[in-house]
A and B are shown apart, each in its own frame.
Chain A
Amino acid sequence: MMGNNQLMPNSHRFATDSQNVQTNRRSMHRRTMLATIAASATMGVTGCLPSTSASEGTLEEVWGKRGQRKGQFQRPRAITVDDEDRLYIVDMTGRIQVFDRGGVFQRAWRTPTIENGRPSGLGISRDGLIMVADTHYFQVLFYTKLGEPQPNRTLGGTCGNSPGEFNFVTDVVQDSLGNYYVADYGEVDRIQKLDPNGQSIYQWGSQGSGKRQFQRPNSLAMGPNDHLWVADACNHRIQVYDVALSAPRLVQVWGSHGVAAGQLRYPYDLILTDDENLIVVEFGNHRVQKFGLDGQAVASFGSAGRDEGQFTQPWGAAVDSRNRVHVLDSYNHRVQRIRI
């Protein structure tokens, strides 16, 4: 089991130094060595692994700190990555900040207003625009990668339960045909399908824990064959729908409430990886889990805490082209890059 420990000394990389950026990067060496020694000592004394380190993965880098200056975060809530591995992160100040893959700040912009609340979802459209789930304004905003708003692309903006109206928007994805899928919750918890022009096609879901019901569908991911993966956060489960058909077909539901490996507590984000696995970020369990597409738990990383390799209520994650997972450690106001 020690071979699976995420804190292997030879797995460390050092980020390149940034110019003019307020990031906080730390070497893993000393801490890794201490952690390894401590883990070994614990095993020697107790004869078993420490209960909090049932993690499998490798921590590569930790960057970011609390603040409102460039490159700093105030409870980052959503993250996405583009095809050039640039990271887009929105936080509680309503800023969308762009970083390169090493965490070097590039630029930032703000959503029009945050008086009612802040965005909580980000995505990349098929034509390379940044899609922002402006949760408390019941809309999806579009920006170029340089932060130029595209108001003619905005989806929604009206609060309501009718088609084309939204409650609290949490996430948006596109299928292979360019149709949008928007998740929202509030009076109803549902997913709406909109055509590429933003016209509503159909919607499904209601509030509850039964079949085709949701309680805060917090994240969406579009998989192969236009299978839509939904993080049903407050039902502590994952739902998969085949949306290639004229009506969504429930393909699979899995997940149970708990803290054990394979169980879930408030899955707030999910990402499908190129190697056909699913990364799930658990707000309640302060960890990232890796599942096979059949729901089989593959690996887990992280525990509650403020040390490197630990998380406090992570909200989101993004996987770059090198299959590295950038996790938003929201209440520690930082990003941790891991391999899992």
Chain B
Amino acid sequence: MFEIGIPFINYRIAFAQGGYLLLVFLLPLLWLVSFRSLAGLGRNRRIIALAMRSIVLFAFIVALAEIQVLKVSEKIAVYYLLDQSESIPQHQRQLMLDYVQREVVKHRNSERGDLAGVIIFGREALVEIQAFDEDLPSIGQIEGYRELETDATNLAAALRQAVASFPEDAAKRVVVVTDGNENLGSARSVAPTLAENGIGIDVVPIKLGERGEIVMDKMTLPNMVRKGQPVSSRIVLSNLGDEDVAGKLTVVRSVGDREQLLDERQVTLHPGKNMFLVEQDLNQSGVFTYKARFSPDDPRSDIMSENNETTAFTHVRGKGRILIIEDWEHPGRFDYLAGRLMENELEVDVVPSNNLFNSLAELQAYDCVILADVPRSSGETATTVTNFSDERIDMLVRNTAQMGCGLIMMGGPNSFGAGGWVNTEIEKAMPVDFQIKNSKIVPVGALVLMMHASEMEQGNYWQKVVGMEAVKALGPMDYCGCIHWENNTGNDAWLWNAPRGLFRVGENRRTMVARLNRMAPGDMPAFEPAMKMTLNALQGVKAAVKHVIVISDGDPVPPSPFTIAKFVKAKIQISTVAIGSHGPPSAGPMQKLATDTGGKFYVVTNPKALPRIYQREARRVARPLVYEPEDGVTPQVMDYHEIHGMTPQQLPPISGFVLTTVKDNPLVEVSIRSPKPAEPDNATILASWTFGLGRTAVFTTDAGNRWATEWTAWPEYDRFFTQMVRWAMRPVEENGTFLTSTNVRDGKVQIAITALDDESNVINLLDMTATAIAPDLTAFTVPIRQIAPGRYVGEFTTEKPGSYYLSVNPGMQDVEVNGVMQRRPRAQIVTGVNVAYSAEYRDRETNLALLHALAQTRPVGGESGMVADGDFTAEAMNDFLELDTFRHTLAKAISSQDIWPLCLLIGACMFFGDVFVRRVAVDWSWTEPVVQWIRTKLGRTVEEEPEGETRLERLRRRKEQVSGQMEERRAAARFEPMEEANLDEVVQEASAASTSIESPTETRTSNSIAPTVDEQDNYTARLMKAKKDALKNRDKRG
């Protein structure tokens, strides 16, 4: 690169291929050759043509050399990277923005156009303020804080974000305000990238306090104990200070949602490690969670309280523990079953559906979960409607798929498809689908959604959400329509272009969701027209259940009593959802509409309740899935299966069940069917399969409350249900011993398993695998390898604090079954580990080594950065402001632009000009009269000169003109120039004339030839005649 500076302005010229500039030495040669060849053009034209040729050649040369214009910018852009991770005390995090604002005000050079921006970082990095050329706004608090995860420090991400965020036309610097305790990424590895990009790094270190600190190191428990076995747990605490710290140690044990205070004692922690023992008996089976917490008497003796707690798990093996979840609106329907299971040595907990588990940990207490005629959502009003959230459903499914727990769905009119479980993860986990694809088997439902929530905050969003919930809950054969006020046309309109407004959901489900996504309902003036359209549409479809859900802020004019009466007559119920808080005027008519037609009325002030309401309402349409033939049915055992242990036979009659469809999967085993309806795939009573590490089963009739009432007197009742539950239960290892231990260190969890057989001999060469579930319920595989005889270990990284559950598959074993050795999988080992606090809370000192290393990174073309010194407090802030973060010690930003195409264009134009000058003789004689005319128009008077002088001047000028023109004509025509003498003669004669020559001699523009002798004579003769005439006129005037 070859550069030339342009004085006084911040531009430079550069040539990427400077070698081509040597071609400029061709210019003298060009001049030499052209000067001679252009001799015939006359002096001026020759010079012009030569200049143009030179420019053409020069432009060509600089284009070859790839000429560029470089603009040098004096601006500096500074990004402040503010560490908002939890290792820094909150007040210091808030102080950072104050520092940045003051620093920018003090040092930013506005004349230079300096820019300042802010990036905040924790687990990731976010641009809080994009760099701009003004002082930073005083926003009071960091806005991006809500979106930032602060449980980790990822300085490297912040540096990368800064590199990507800098503007191109400024020198660049980052100012890192941090304690340097990174626990994600590596800032050192990113620093060279900044240096290569010319980005300087200044550091403002946050020095952490030096007070005492208590850290809960760990709590140990045996991984698996037998019921009734005494258990002692060890709790290890570290006192990192120099003095004793007194406080209270609390240990809590929980199983499921029940919590029990195990121990609470006053202790004194000496500097260094402190260990405490807690002993207890465990008389209950399940997975127990222990939580230990230390609370210092003087909070000032501990910097961070977040690291004072730890959790541990133990699994108490027993006979089996079952969780029955029943509908809270209909409690007690499964009490009989629960009682029989308990009689058969199973521990049973019955919980209502409005008091569900909140974590996967709670589910670990159970070996099998039964969803007993429980709908997905239940309740009658907006405040009482409860549902299984997607997250809870996910927990249930993962508890089976990854942790091996059994899952059974039992029937009743509120279960399966009739319970609104269609299209949920539960349906995927079950051996049957909850929808019927054959309309001959089951009557269909029809649902119309009427949307009018325009005045509600985020009304459009919530209408889309509820619309999709409703569509999701419908079966494929059901009809669905959505009516709204269309702004473009100013009419009520159906959302999808069905002939009558309604489509079957089946193949149109995706289209419906897509249309709902684009929906923008307008402000419907009156319900009446839309109600009429709805009535017509619903009357036009054959459906067993027809239902309308109206969502509105209630200000459209209500439908007429006449229209409402038609709905009542057609047995179409209308449920109304009044959103927003318009008050009674809106609620009254909407309530009346629901009451008159037999629907439900909901008042919703919190839109989060809306999806639950729509799930609840959509269930009304799913009612046809309940199959209750008048004379009942007699279920038939199809094949022998472990789940019931019965050979083919008839079972006691039932009066109903819920229709389902057997999944098209060879793993599904349907062991009991109903003879009706005729389609066997829809007549399942009992089906099962293995789902992931666990087993799931469906029993589509109930357990004796409504449909299977005759079963309670059946002698096989206990055996049937106990065996079904035991089949699905999480298996318990009876052979051999697997001792597990977990350890958390440096952000990693290590699991170690010691495998012993019944004689305490080690078991080698087991093909072990493990699945872990993170706190956010994501599952991942943990490789297990053998490191010593009978000892196996695995390891995984913990990115988030919380409970991690592990399900270890110990591999296969040989088992004797009916005298025959068979290879069977061993029972899962379930364990867990708790990462009590983020790595953020482990760091108690500023990582100055890293910060100095970053500052010393020397950017290309600039100087290394600086490290500010002082305490980062409001009082000492001025010390930090001494560091000018806008000092110009960095490489100036240079932007380049190729201009060789422009040079080529100029060259091309000049080439044309060269040809033009040589080939075309332009007559400029018209310019003088024009100039004269303009001057006259402008009112300028020409000072009168002595007549004789004027005339002489004109004649001289004229002579020069004529001389030049003739010379040019001759040159253009390659003829020899006219003899000078002839012209002189003409002028002399003309000057003697008294009248001025008004118009010059006509210029020949055609292919002129040299005047012949005759012509010259004629010409001379005309001049002589003119002279004579002039003399004659003068005599007359005289």
Interfacial residues, chain A to chain B (CB-CB below 8 A): 115-118, 135-136, 138, 159-160, 167-168, 185-187, 189, 207-209, 215-216, 233-234, 265-266, 283-286, 304, 312-313, 331
Contacts and interface: CB of A to CB of B under 8 A. Distances in A.
A37 B487 CA distance: 29
Contacts of B525: 216, 233-234, 266, 283-284
Given A189-B557, A284-B490, A313 B522 contact: yes
A10 B522 CA distance: 37
Interface in B485-542: 487-491, 522-523, 525-526, 528
A207 B557 CA distance: 9
A206 B615 CA distance: 37
10 contacts: A136-B582, A138-B583, A159-B583, A168-B585, A186-B585, A187-B584, A187-B588, A216-B557, A313-B487, A313-B490
B581 interface: yes
A234 B490 contact: no
Interface string B580-597: 111111101100000000
B484 to A, nearest CB: 14
B586 A304 contact: no
B487 A167 contact: no
Nearest to A265: B490
Interface of B: 455, 487-491, 522-523, 525-526, 528, 553, 555, 557-558, 560, 580-586, 588-589
A186 B586 contact: yes
Contacts of B489: 304
A266 to B, nearest CB: 5
- Ordered nearest first, which 10 A-B pairs have the shortest CB separation? A186-B585, A167-B585, A234-B526, A234-B557, A284-B490, A215-B557, A187-B588, A216-B557, A117-B455, A266-B525
A215 B555 CA distance: 11
Contacts of A284: 490-491, 525
A213 B411 CA distance: 54
A45 B40 CA distance: 67
Candidate in B455, B491, B525 with the most chain A CB atoms within 10 angstroms: B525
Contacts of A185: 557, 585
Contacts of B522: 313, 331
Contacts of A286: 490
B687 to A, nearest CB: 52
A266 B529 CA distance: 12
A309 to B, nearest CB: 17
A266 B528 CA distance: 13
A335 B487 CA distance: 17
Given A186-B585, A284-B490, 8 more contacts: A159-B584, A159-B585, A187-B588, A189-B557, A216-B526, A216-B557, A286-B490, A304-B489
A285 B490 CA distance: 7
Candidate in A116, A185, A186 with the most chain B CB atoms within 10 angstroms: A186
A209 B584 CA distance: 23
Contact of B588 (A115, A186, A208, A233): A186
Contacts of A207: 557-558
Contacts of A209: 560
A147 B427 CA distance: 60
Contacts of B523: 313
B490 A186 contact: no
A116 B491 CA distance: 25
Contacts of A138: 583, 585
Contacts of A115: 581
Contacts of A234: 525-526, 528, 557
Contacts, number: 76
B553 A117 contact: yes
B307 to A, nearest CB: 43
A216 B583 CA distance: 17
A209 B558 CA distance: 12
A59 to B, nearest CB: 20
A139 B860 CA distance: 69
B455 A118 contact: yes
A117 B488 contact: no
A304 B488 contact: yes
Contacts of A265: 490
A185 B556 CA distance: 9
Nearest to A285: B490
B487 A312 contact: yes
Contacts of B585: 138, 159, 167-168, 185-187
A186 B589 contact: yes
A312 B557 contact: no
Nearest to B527: A234
A160 B583 CA distance: 10
A168 B557 contact: no
A117 B557 contact: no
Nearest to A184: B585
Contacts of B588: 186-187
Contacts of B555: 117, 135-136, 168, 186
Contacts of B584: 159-160, 186-187
A283 B486 CA distance: 12
Nearest to B558: A207
Contacts of B488: 304, 312
B682 to A, nearest CB: 48
A234 B526 CA distance: 7
A117 B580 contact: yes
A216 B557 CA distance: 7
A233 B526 CA distance: 9
A209 B553 CA distance: 23
A331 B487 contact: yes
Contacts of A116: 580-583
A118 B487 CA distance: 19
A319 B560 CA distance: 35
Contacts of B553: 117
A136 B491 CA distance: 24
A118 B555 CA distance: 12
Nearest to A208: B560
Contacts of B581: 115-116
B492 to A, nearest CB: 10
A186 to B, nearest CB: 3
A224 B528 CA distance: 35
A233 B583 CA distance: 22
A10 to B, nearest CB: 32
Contacts of B589: 186-187
A217 to B, nearest CB: 10
A331 B523 CA distance: 10
A135 B455 CA distance: 12
A312 B984 CA distance: 86
A115 B589 CA distance: 21
B490 A283 contact: yes
B706 to A, nearest CB: 42
A185 B553 CA distance: 14
A45 to B, nearest CB: 26
B803 to A, nearest CB: 41
A165 B687 CA distance: 63
